[in-house]
Amino acid sequence: MKQLIDKLNITQTLEKDEFIYLLDHFTGRESEYLFEKAREKAHLYYDCDIYIRGLIEFSNYCKNDCYYCGIRRSNSLAQRYRLSKEEILACCDEGYHLGFRTFVLQGGEDRFYTQELFCDIIKNIRRNHPDCAITLSIGERSYEEYQAYFDAGANRFLLRHETAGEKHYQKLHPPKLSQQNRIRCLQDLKRIGFQVGTGFMVESPYQTTADLAEDLLFIQELNPQMVGIGPFITHKDTPFAQFPSGSLKKTLFLIGLIRLMLPAALIPATTALGTVDPLGREAGILAGANVVMPNLSPVSQRKKYALYDNKICTGDEAAQCIQCLKRRMNKIGYEITVARGDSKNINRNKERR
Ligand code: SAH
């Protein structure tokens, strides 16, 4: 098995069967070996620097009905909220003072925010903080709409593909949503020139090892600037309430594999990772991740952006979160940096900016 890890480390790819073999058979020993190699690769590109992104969860209204997600349209128990333009801009100002140089606007697919309103918000952030990167995570849109956001000043876009298995995709989503359209969106975003992040949930219901191998091969082909993965976590008011959450172990192993496959990519240690284990984010960094995304949303609304149960950091002020993360990263020998933190895995489709 170590030979396969060495092969991946050198060639940056494996056959589908080889990924499946690794994922089905790895033990603690192989994990440690993989993480060591993954850390070496991460240090080569990013040293011991950890980039931070200020996450602003601007709305939990959503027109979609993904079976795994706590803010799905059909969850009538979700308490809905939206942030106004002024509130979003205030979050950015606070974040800037705390040392954030990237703002991530994430939300449900909420048509209250028209193209015009989003463009206005983006232009304002761009004007107020010209040295910052603006990341959108607002789901599936048309080419034209993505282009308008890029032209307004957005630089990056996060859109997880969720699963590369075609049949599996249909088990996680209602018939209205198609994998084909999600992939079309990712290709459009790349073509327009966004720095693109994709990713998937680990051990979501009905996922097979073959699906995970497909995820890795899909990511290899797309060659994104960022790859965000996290364990699936049960939400009690969704159709998947009876399914168990994914494991820390499997997620970490996948982070290690992704680091060897795309050595220069940005890989976050996600909130979901910190939710399944109190030291999950530290473990993610030690498995090859190099980004954390603390929450900048107003504390009064935090709990309502409940994609899954028991989400961490929903009670603390942003300033507390950043202090806590600084301590946690220092403890394991890493340093949070004040920087835009662009990916060193460049989108060659277009000149970045
Ligand atoms: N509407 C945006 C943002 C989605 S929320 C979009 O469509 O891209 C961000 C991510 O949270 C999702 O892409 C999904 O991978 C993850 N997520 C949602 N529900 C989850 C759950 N129950 N467990 C773990 N991750 C979840």
What pLDDT digit, counting tens, does each position of 275-301 carry?
A: 999 999 999 999 999 999 999 999 999
Assess whether the C-beta atom of 60 lies below 6 angstroms from ligand 1: no
Atom of ligand 1 nearest to the CA of 109: 1
- What is the rounded average pLDDT of the residues 90-113? 97
- Pick from 211, 209, 132: which is nearest to 171 by CA? 211
Query: What's the pLDDT at 347?
Result: 78
Give the separation between CA 285 and CA 111, rounded to whole angstroms.
Answer: 36
- Pick from 48, 49, 42, 57: which is nearest to 294 by CA? 57
Query: Burial letters for 52-83: b for 16+ Cβ neighbours within 10 Å, e otherwise?
Result: bbbbbbbbbbbebbbbbbbbbbebeebeebbb
- Pick from 185, 199, 190: which is nearest to 267 by CA? 199
CB of 72 closer than 8 Å to CB of 65? yes
CA of 70 to the centre of ligand 1 (A): 9
Q: Which domains does the chain have, with CATH numbers?
A: 2-7+14-337 (3.20.20.70)
Query: What's the pLDDT at 194?
Result: 98
pLDDT band with cut points at 50, 70 and 90 for residue 66: very high
* pTM (2 d.p.): 0.97
The residues pairing with 229 across neighbouring beta strands, listed in sequence order, are 200
CA of 199 to the centre of ligand 1 (A): 10
- What is the rounded average pLDDT of the residues 140-147? 98
CA of 196 to the centre of ligand 1 (A): 16
Query: What's the pLDDT at 348?
Result: 72
CA of 105 to the centre of ligand 1 (A): 13
Structure tokens at 162: 């969720």
- What is the rounded average pLDDT of the residues 83-108? 98
Assess whether the C-beta atom of 53 lies below 6 angstroms from ligand 1: no
pLDDT band with cut points at 50, 70 and 90 for residue 102: very high
Q: Whose CA is nearest to atom 6 of ligand 1?
A: 139
What secondary structure letter does DSSP report for 162?
B
Structure tokens at 27: 């033990």
Q: Which of 307, 308, 309, 311 to mutate to test the pocket of ligand 1 (most atoms within 8 A of CB)?
A: 307
What secondary structure letter does DSSP report for 80?
P
CB of 102 closer than 8 Å to CB of 338? no
Percent of the chain at pLDDT > 70 equals: 99
- Pick from 50, 73, 76: which is nearest to 292 by CA? 50
Average pLDDT, the chain: 97
Beta strand 49-52 with 226-231: parallel, antiparallel or unpaired?
A: unpaired
CB of 294 closer than 8 Å to CB of 52? yes
Assess whether the C-beta atom of 160 lies below 6 angstroms from ligand 1: yes
Q: Which of 69, 162, 229 to mutate to test the pocket of ligand 1 (most atoms within 8 A of CB)?
A: 69
Percent of the chain at pLDDT > 90 equals: 96
97 has pLDDT over 80: yes
352 has pLDDT over 60: no
349 has pLDDT over 90: no
Which residue, chain included where needed, has tokens 């240090």? 43
Q: Whose CA is nearest to atom 13 of ligand 1?
A: 160
251 has pLDDT over 50: yes
Taking the mean position of all CA atoms in its chain, how far away is CA 33? 25
